[in-house]
Copies of this chain bind each other. A is one copy, B any other.
């Protein structure tokens, strides 16, 4: 029967743009611990870079005792570590801001979870040896292109303060989920920064440079800054750690349900700290009920699954709200902190359903 042939019922990445390629994960279907590569969200600033064999040699230079160039195979022979972690674009959920802001209109799927394996950056920095003048470490990627707001050609580049660069779980990764890092995910070498939004995890690493001042590239000082006001830059601060957040994966908003018992479920995640509670409200936030959590306590950077059995007997329209709390006191606010470039949206997650 020829009519059974072909792809049926397969979820795909949701494309926002192709040049550069930005595709988000259909998060309401992704209920696995590890996001498979084909569903891993993709976020790029520029076209995919052409890589030469040089990409398999990673230099560390600048304010170091000794410039070193690490070949791929040598780096793989060093003592390694693996981190299972949420990677989330700081613009995730941008389309939910009100008033709306310019930029890629992400819904909820600029987030994925993977196991990254690599070498601790501090091991490499210690091999090079830091000069006393060292203030920050700059990570330059192979990707480059134009910006709409200034003249010139720019490589994507970001810096880290020395403390974060020397964090035990800041790694130069070469594997994702047990395989060489896929090209679209930034291989052969990608910087991986747990707890921070993904702009810090620079893809296609070209060079690491220790500098004696604060880096002022446009992806450090123009983008990835919270600007609280539309018209001026007063009160600006850099985007760093992931905010406490959650999502309802089931049911979807604006769906209709039968009366009876329904399993409401989703995931919750945070940057510093770990998720301690997920709560649901069926009365616009007046009272909150605790969901059951399922997490791997050995994986502090990973997301937490949650679920709640909802018994609904009465027909009608319902608003369901969800909020997560973390061990540092982080909690999702009723309203997100608006900012001009639309980063860090983490308001209470709200859906509507009709029971009939």
A102 at the B interface (CB under 8 A): yes
Which chain B residue lies CB-closest to A44? B9
Q: Please, which residue of chain B has its CB at the minimum distance from the CB of A26?
A: B15
Q: A12-B14, A15-B29, A48-B9 are in contact. Are A3 and B100 (CB under 8 A)?
A: no
A258 interfacial contact with B, CB 8 Å: yes
- Asked if A1 CB lies within 8 Å of chain B CBs, one says yes
Bound CA–CA A103/B352 (angstroms) = 11
**Of listed A14, A23, A101, A258, residue having the most chain B CB within 10 A:** A14
CB–CB B11/A258 < 8 A: no
Measured between beta carbons, the chain B residues less than 8 angstroms from A188 are 3
Copies in the complex: 2
Minimal beta-carbon separation of A355 from chain B (angstroms): 8
* Cα separation A9 to B23 with both chains bound (whole Å): 9
Contact B148 A258 (CB under 8 A): yes
* Beta-carbon contact of B252 and A183 below 8 Å: no
Q: Let me know if A102 and B354 touch, CB within 8 A.
A: yes
Query: Which residues of chain A from 315 to 356 have any CB-CB distance to chain B below 8 Å in the complex?
Result: 352-354, 356
A1 touches B253 (CB 8 A): no
Chain A positions 142 through 154: 1 when the CB is less than 8 Å from some CB of chain B, otherwise 0? 0000001100000
A–B Cβ pairs within 8 angstroms, 10 of them: A2-B180, A3-B188, A8-B48, A9-B21, A9-B48, A12-B15, A15-B29, A17-B252, A100-B352, A101-B254
User: Interface residues, chain A, CB within 8 Å of chain B?
Assistant: 1-9, 11-19, 21, 23, 26, 29, 38, 48, 51, 53, 55, 100-103, 105, 148-149, 180, 182-184, 187-188, 252-258, 352-354, 356
